[in-house]
Chain A
Amino acid sequence: MTDLTDLTIAGALEGLERGDFTAVELARAYLDAMAARRDLNAYITEVPDVALEQAAASDTRRKKGTAGPLEGIPLAVKDMFCTRGLRTTAASRILGDFTPPYESTVTQKLLDAGAVFLGKTNQDEFAMGSSNTTSAFGPAVNPWSRETPLTPGGSSGGSAAAVAARLALGATGTDTGGSIRQPAAFTGIVGVKPTYGRCSRWGIVAFASSLDQAGPFARTVEDAALLLQVMSGHDPKDSTSADRPVPDFPADLRECVKGLRVGVPRQYRVDGMPAEIDALWERGAQWLRDAGAHVVEVSLPHTHYALPVYYIINPAEASSNLARYDGMRYGARVEGADLLETYCRTRGQGFGAEVKRRILVGTYVLSSGYYDAYYAKAQKVRRLILNDFAKAFEACDVLLTPTTPGPAFAIGEKEDDPVTMYLNDVFTVTANLAGLPGVSVPAGLSAGGLPLGLQVIGRAWDEATMLRVARALETAAGFTLPRF
């Protein structure tokens, strides 16, 4: 028998259905792999007992003929998702050993579909970061690393590392400015950020509410579609979740891309972009031309303002969302002589440097006297960026861009200046600002032999077309994920 961890989700579902192996065997294979690669620090919390128990229950369901669409599939869950009875940290000290008495909507949907949870994955603290280095549990490591440990990207670095290193068959992530797509690109896997409102945010630790969206990591576009299918859907508990029908994403992948119009936004050709990224981008466009699509140049004139706008709105919302971590009701508390000192100590010791930076910036841009100059203006520009996309989508059906300006970098690099780190998000933040779906597909290797991703951005609610184009790129690229 081939190694069970080599299978895709689609392949594993077939094997389970044929009875080639059981969910318990599949879970064990993954638990063994996890134990063998603890050096990657992909998981904050491993839950082998829970996984085996869930796998056994899954085998029973399959025998009874009540198998769900992800029956017996072992997954990793980013530690932003509240999971009932499983410690949830958001990679922050401030949450201590917080163990939610409730299950997030998205993870509940996965459990209801028969999925098995292996553990909670590492990430940047409160998802603030692009390298997984702000985690209170230490950085996750990219399995592509050779001599120097490389970042798997962030914030969902642990989920990406786990899926790439075959420590999970798939994983959940959250994407606020690129936190699924950038790590997917850095680790050579597929990562999807759905349309804002496609997946419920209920039960996910809030970072920047108007930008946050859950999405899947997988090793193939088809697997990502299978996961997205289950994770999507209206949730009355999230007022921003959309009451719209969810298409059949896996089925829609069978359609071809012939006749589709693919937009290439000229403003994404940023200064100092490495030639290999440019070349990859051109190669991607050519693959789609070859598959029968029309490639057109489009303009997104306000792209230049996306990062500044993002780094106003994101910390503003974060500063307010993180106010609840005050040590009063749950999580860590550091007592002081009085209330103010207890607040200061709890938050001073509970939050890391990047989180504090965002809270300070967010508090500043919302404060009276600065609100109009920063927050209000950023919201106006956000509207212009949204209009840019609306206009561009008159001329095309999807957009094609690089996912990141370069391949994975060494852990500890770009740490001196936060702005350098923020530049990682340059191609991804726009989709969050505009609420659009985006997917990163592994499309090739850098000169240094590291994976590079291409991003497809779709129209709002049209993940189906976006995934179809991603599938075409995947096929043409013929990218193979090595065993590490």
Chain B
Amino acid sequence: MENQIKGQSGPWETVIGMEVHAQVPSAAKLFSGASAAFGAEPNAHVSYIDAGMPGMLPVLNQACVDAAIKTGLGLNAAINRRSVFARKNYFYPDLPQGYQISQFDQPIVGKGAVTIDLPDGTTRRIGITRLHLEQDAGKSLHDQHPTKSYVDLNRCGVALMEIVSEPDMRSAEEAVAYLAKLRMIVRYLGTCDGNMEEGSMRADVNISVRRPGDPLGTRAEVKNVNSVKAVGQAIAYEARRQVEAIEAGGQVVQETRLWDPNKGVTRSMRGKEEAHDYRYFPDPDLLPLELTEARIEAIRAGLPELPDAKKVRFMGMGLSAYDAGVLVAEAERAAYFEAVLVGHGDAKLAANWVLNELLGFLNKDGKDIAQSPVEPGDLASLLGLMADGTISGKIAKDVFEEMYKTGAAPGDIVEAKGLKQVADAGAIGALVDGVLAAHTDKVAEYKAGKDRLFGFFVGQVMKASGGKAAPGAVNALLRERLR
């Protein structure tokens, strides 16, 4: 069991559950008409509702409801026909209403599951407890003034989906894979952009340790885990901390802890922030949310193919599990690959070129596939030129580099640079004769039995052709002349 932590007193198992907040990319906020766009001047996107003005009332944004249903379906989860919005009451200046509208005991989405892919090629099923819709809070800025704090309400009221997992993960690796899978699914669905840097996807991680086979231990909730990497680090640190605490004769306190990415530690948030009794109750300003079967089915019918299904389909085309997995990891990447296939049907060849050549160049430049200077149709044309013998595989790589730099079409590059493969027996024959004449000593050695010199002759002929000679023709003519 490589997932276990070795303590002084024996092995420990880490148990992890996650609460992920995923921001819905809707134009307007969850309960107001103000823009939900990121990055505006402070307090530019604030309606009277968001500012908690007297007499203002929330009106549910149905686009956000659709996003939650869609995500629920993508998580193979039960969609609740009736759900209820509840108020979570607490005081803070970036929460103008004095309560957050959330969902409590009747969320819009119930139990589901996702399959995570682990680096060793195995998969595991992680249960989803629920998904609910809620408002985001505003932002408090404590560093703008020596004694005052400023409040920016642009984010206040933006729609979030809180996706809660079962405590089904047993290692940092699994937690990272879960988060990656969740991100992949919401990005496929278009229900969250998954951007952890901008905070549109945030994770709170619940961590506990126990002796293998024992009941669940006391958990700590770690907040402020703002990257996939931080999830791994925070879990490793926190699990080790808990094991050491217990082995030192202490115990784990159920509490909220904050991940400090600079120091690489979690620290307790105990104190007034922790002492909340949120006094949840159904929001009397909103009617229960009733969903019709027809609405759910219409959304189901419009669901895109999700990564798991796509991976299986790609494997059916002859791709390895690994290659298929890398292709489906990003929706745009898979879409690019499929666009190449439209122009050139050899899936394995197309996958090789997308994964090795294109991604290689893009990674080097720190670009993602949406920014590729090479259009999928052009890559397909290049593969076609290779397949019909117009150019060799080696030349193709040069052409590709040129395509990547200039965005030019492969046919134009081949034409302009005269890179067409030479397959004419007369022209190649003359080159072969020239090479053999120049290396009479090597010819003698070859004939004396030094077979591996054949490659040398091929190389010389290719060189003399400027790489354009068709390798098949060169091989055939050399064999004939050396017989």
Residues of A within 8 A of B (CB): 81-82, 88, 90, 95, 98, 100-102, 104, 201-206, 208-210, 236-240, 316-317, 319-320, 322-324, 326, 328-330, 339-340, 343, 363, 366-368, 371, 375
Contact = CB atoms under 8 A, between A and B. Distances in A.
B59 A366 contact: no
Nearest to A206: B55
B57 interface: yes
Contact of A368 (B98, B149, B277, B286): B277
B281 interface: yes
Contact of B57 (A100, A202, A210, A366): A202
Given A324-B97, A375-B281, A343 B60 contact: no
Contacts of B96: 324, 328-329
Contacts of A90: 54
Contacts of A330: 53
Given A210-B284, A343-B91, A82 B54 contact: yes
Contacts of B99: 320, 323
A100 B48 CA distance: 10
Contact of B279 (A201, A320, A329, A339): A320
Nearest to A347: B91
B55 A82 contact: yes
B199 interface: no
A323 B98 contact: yes
Contacts of B284: 208-210, 240, 317
B51 interface: yes
B277 A316 contact: no
Contact of A324 (B52, B272, B280): B52
Contacts of B89: 319-320, 323, 366
A77 to B, nearest CB: 13
B60 A320 contact: no
Nearest to B281: A366
A240 B85 CA distance: 13
B285 interface: yes
A109 B414 CA distance: 74
Contacts of A101: 48
6 contacts: A82-B54, A104-B55, A205-B55, A324-B98, A329-B52, A343-B91
Interface string B135-150: 0000000000000010
A238 B54 CA distance: 14
Contacts of A316: 281
B57 A239 contact: yes
B138 to A, nearest CB: 11
Nearest to B59: A239
Given A240-B284, A322-B98, A328-B93, 14 more contacts: A101-B48, A202-B55, A203-B55, A209-B284, A239-B286, A240-B287, A316-B281, A320-B279, A323-B99, A326-B98, A329-B53, A330-B53, A366-B89, A366-B279
A343 B93 CA distance: 10
DSSP majority for the B interface? Answer: loop
Closest A-B pairs by Cβ, 6 of them = A323-B98, A210-B284, A209-B284, A366-B279, A324-B52, A203-B55
A339 B286 CA distance: 31
B151 interface: yes
B58 A239 contact: yes
Residues of B in contact with A, size category: 20 to 34
B30 to A, nearest CB: 13
Contacts of A368: 277, 279
Interface string B273-313: 00001011100111100000000000000000000000000
A371 B281 contact: yes
A100 B53 contact: yes
Interface string B53-80: 1111111100000000000000000000
B87 interface: yes
Contact of B285 (A205, A239, A326, A340): A239
Contact of A239 (B55, B277, B287): B287
B93 A339 contact: yes
Interface in B39-53: 48, 51-53
Contacts of A95: 54
Contacts of A236: 59
A124 B97 CA distance: 22
Contacts of A201: 55, 57
B109 to A, nearest CB: 21
Contacts of B58: 239
A371 B53 CA distance: 28
A242 B287 CA distance: 11
Nearest to B283: A209
A320 to B, nearest CB: 5
A375 B59 CA distance: 25
Contacts of B56: 202-203
A101 B74 CA distance: 43
A82 B96 CA distance: 18
Interface in B394-442: none
Nearest to A104: B55
Which of B57, B58, B277, B286 has the largest count of A CB atoms less than 10 A from its CB? B57
A324 B57 CA distance: 13
Which of B56, B272, B287 has the largest count of A CB atoms less than 10 A from its CB? B56
A323 B55 contact: no
Nearest to A366: B279
A320 B87 contact: yes
Contacts of B93: 326, 328, 339
B336 to A, nearest CB: 43
A367 B277 contact: yes
Contacts of A81: 55
Contacts of A238: 57
A201 B279 CA distance: 24
Nearest to A342: B93
A88 B279 contact: no
A78 B53 CA distance: 18
Nearest to B140: A339
B125 to A, nearest CB: 33
Contacts of B91: 323, 326, 343
A237 B55 CA distance: 11
Interface string B109-127: 0000000000000000000
A399 B126 CA distance: 58
Given A239-B286, A363-B279, A88 B54 contact: yes
B48 A102 contact: yes
A239 B97 contact: no
B59 A237 contact: yes
Contacts of A363: 279
Nearest to B87: A320
A320 B52 contact: no
B59 A367 contact: no
Nearest to A343: B91
A375 B89 CA distance: 15
Contacts of A367: 277, 279
B54 to A, nearest CB: 5
Contacts of B57: 201-202, 206, 237-240
Contact of B54 (A98, A237, A326, A375): A98
Nearest to A212: B284
B285 A209 contact: yes
Which of A100, A329, A330, A363 has the largest count of B CB atoms less than 10 A from its CB? A329
A363 B89 CA distance: 10
A199 to B, nearest CB: 13
Contacts of B287: 239-240
A97 B295 CA distance: 47
A98 B54 CA distance: 10
A339 B56 CA distance: 25
A37 B53 CA distance: 33
A240 B285 contact: yes
